[in-house]
Amino acid sequence: MPRYQEAPLTSLAQGLERESADYIKKLVALLNTGTKPTRKADLIALVCESMQGKKLQSLWSQLDKLQQAAIAEVVHSSSPFYQHDAFVAKYGEAPNWGSSSTYGWNREPSLLCLFFYQDEMPPDLKLALLKIAPKPKPTLIKQAGDSLPETVMIRHEPRYTNLREGRKIIIKEAPLTVCEMERSAPHDLGGILRLIQSGKISVSDKTSLPGAASIKAIAAILQNKDFYDDEQRKQRADAKSYFEEIGAIKAFAWAMLVQAANLVEISNKKLVLSKAGLKALQDPPAKTIQTIWKRWLKTTLLDEFRRIDHIKGQTGKGARSMTAVAGRRAVINTVLTECPVGMWIAFDEFSRFMLATNRRFEVTRSAEHLYISESGYGNLYDSGDWKILQERYMRCLLFEYAATLGIIDVAYIDPGQAEQGFSSFFGAEDFTFLSRYDGLMYFRLNSLGAYCLDLQKEYVPSAIPSRPVLQVLPNLEIVASGEGLTSVDTLVLDLYTEKVSDVVWRLDRQKLFTAQESGHSIDELLDFLTAKSSTALPQTATQFFSDAKERTNSLRDLGTAKLIECNQANLAVLIANDSRTKKFCQLAGDRHLVVLSENETKFRSALRQMGYVIPLSR
């Protein structure tokens, strides 16, 4: 639809009135009426007469299936306009509109043009067609299934074309990496909160972005490392070709997510846990992750598109044209809720589904401000391309934020191996990839994601497939048998147990307790071993778990507290028993009081009423 649109049509006659007499004559020729009026008013009257009753039914029967589909889509929608991108995304091609010369001159219309005027269907015609055009089939998202291949085939166009040979399309095979995030994200959340509590994460007080040292510290505590390892990529790269670093994804995302969720505060450029952050250490990780996602959807802390480093012009004049991030995220989040839980979806299919259902969004109102490499040459003003702008944004939101939180599992390739589609832009000839997220190929909404998106009231971890690939020995060692051990199985074992060798792990109380402190359950490991073991668990293993559960239930974390020292024992007793303060503190020894962080404000207020105050710590 053009940027400028005339007032909505009120009738077929008005639509025809906007066209030239020569064009209407071409429409009349399609009707085969045998009469050839010359005056415009007579031409309009003839077309209107031919678009009623049985004559309209006859015209409908002369249309091909694709043309009928174009009409049906508009007739049964709330909009009178034909949506080209949505139609092509749903049906794979555009209907036959006839032909025209360059820039739309010398139009030779098809029968379909009798139903639309500047892509708009007149309301009286739309009403008449309700009795003729059947309701179109709903648009469905296609599933890739519950498993994926080890490799994918990628279509490549050479950057430089041999003029004699012409442009050749090359199909290359790329290895697919599957990363199941549901179980690692809760561990990563606990790790980042503890890391912040230790005072090791710094951010800019102006941009809130983490520095290189902080990103490195976060990456070191991630359960399954970051999605890409630039050091390994560099070793595998061709020494003769240009190497482009990908950089951090998960590590960067965590630094921003905890800020957006108000789990931290900035103090002297360092992140410190807020009261909500301290509480999150005790809360179920799934609940905290749900809160983080919902707050991220509304935050203005960061526009994810700023992470597309190669697209410049997002600051200064260009910043004023960028659309609100909350609106973009809301559209993507809504479509995400329509994805089947537990099934892989190709990213390209997700994008197609958004277009086909007309769930669009804009990244910028003025693409001419954005450019690649050099302003004035690589401007994107004429890109008009969903793949260049919107898809890059979608990939970033899904890969860097939804996947990091464990809402989706992802399958990806190296971005340098992905289909490019950008090398025609000035200055992009030597880029290996346009964004670090270009390698995202598939994603899968998991149980944690279903909970975070309010598709499930309670979080129930995804079931662990029963497959005998392990044997638990009486000495508490766990031995992998056969070749059926998956990366997810290894992840669970590494989380709960001590690794002895490539195929042997050992049940260890300290490692088990560390996993529990990160929000994981003993029962999760017990269920995992029961499902994966070829034989029943030995008595020693059963006793190990029984003892661990008993020790776990012996203590309860009531939260973070402050220890207050009184200069006299009788003052401590007085405060601990005063009706105004006793609800908020507890006597600890002779001269000390313990106050839970959640009660600190009320305790200080009650203490002032007693005539005492706690001075600022030096």
The pLDDT tens digits for 207-241 are 999 999 999 999 998 988 899 988 887 777 665 56
- Count the Cβ atoms, other than its own, within 10 Å of residue 551: 12
What per-residue confidence (pLDDT) applies to 3?
Answer: 47
For residues 589 and 597, give the distance between their C-alpha atoms in angstroms, rounded to a whole number: 19
What per-residue confidence (pLDDT) applies to 106?
Answer: 76
pLDDT tens-digit map of 292-324: 999 999 999 999 999 998 888 888 888 899 999
CB < 8 Å & 24+ apart, contacts of 273-277: 273/193, 273/196, 273/197, 275/597, 275/598, 277/193, 277/196
pLDDT tens-digit map of 474-517: 999 999 876 667 766 787 888 889 999 888 999 999 998 888 87
pLDDT tens-digit map of 80-95: 999 999 999 999 999 9
Cα dihedral angle (142, 146, 147, 148), rounded to 10 degrees?
20
What per-residue confidence (pLDDT) applies to 475?
Answer: 93
343 contacts 460 by C-beta, under 8 angstroms: no
Place of tokens 């950057």: 159
For residues 33 and 50, give the distance between their C-alpha atoms in angstroms, rounded to a whole number: 9
* Mean pLDDT confidence for 200-204: 94
What per-residue confidence (pLDDT) applies to 82?
Answer: 96
For residues 566 and 334, give the distance between their C-alpha atoms in angstroms, rounded to a whole number: 55
Per DSSP bridges, beta strands 470-472 and 477-480 are: antiparallel
Each domain of the chain, given as residue ranges in start order, spans: 12-129, 151-452, 470-552, 561-610
Hey, which residues does 443 pair with through a beta bridge?
A: 345, 410
Point out the least confidently predicted range of 23-27, 342-346, 386-390, 419-423: 419-423
* Mean pLDDT confidence for 186-193: 90
Give the predicted TM-score (pTM) of the model. 0.78
**Backbone angles phi and psi of 8, in degrees to 5:** -55, 145
For residues 598 and 595, give the distance between their C-alpha atoms in angstroms, rounded to a whole number: 8
* Mean pLDDT confidence for 64-78: 97
What per-residue confidence (pLDDT) applies to 383?
Answer: 53
For residues 492 and 183, give the distance between their C-alpha atoms in angstroms, rounded to a whole number: 8
For residues 507 and 70, give the distance between their C-alpha atoms in angstroms, rounded to a whole number: 63
Among candidates 347, 267, 329, which has minimal Cα distance to 293? 329
How many Cα atoms within 13 Å fall on the side-chain side of residue 452?
32
244 contacts 432 by C-beta, under 8 angstroms: yes
pLDDT tens-digit map of 569-592: 999 999 999 999 999 999 999 999
**Backbone angles phi and psi of 273, in degrees to 5:** -70, 135
* Mean pLDDT confidence for 5-9: 79
- Count the Cβ atoms, other than its own, within 10 Å of residue 102: 6
407 contacts 453 by C-beta, under 8 angstroms: yes
- For residues 201-215, b (16+ Cβ closer than 10 Å) or e, as one string? bbbeeeeebbeeebb
List for the chain the helix, strand, coil content (%; round to 5). 40, 15, 45
Does the pLDDT at position 42 exceed 60?
A: yes
pLDDT-above-90 percentage for the chain: 64
Per DSSP bridges, beta strands 408-412 and 371-372 are: unpaired
Does the pLDDT at position 124 exceed 90?
A: yes
* Mean pLDDT confidence for 1-9: 64
Residue type, 80: P
| H helix or E strand, kind and range, residue 449 | helix 447-452
Q: SS3 for 197?
A: helix
For residues 17 and 441, give the distance between their C-alpha atoms in angstroms, rounded to a whole number: 49
What per-residue confidence (pLDDT) applies to 2?
Answer: 45
Hey, which residues does 479 pair with through a beta bridge?
A: 471, 504
Mean pLDDT, the chain, rounded, equals: 89
Q: How many helices (H) and strands (E) does the chain have?
A: 23, 19
Hey, which residues does 444 pair with through a beta bridge?
A: 344, 409
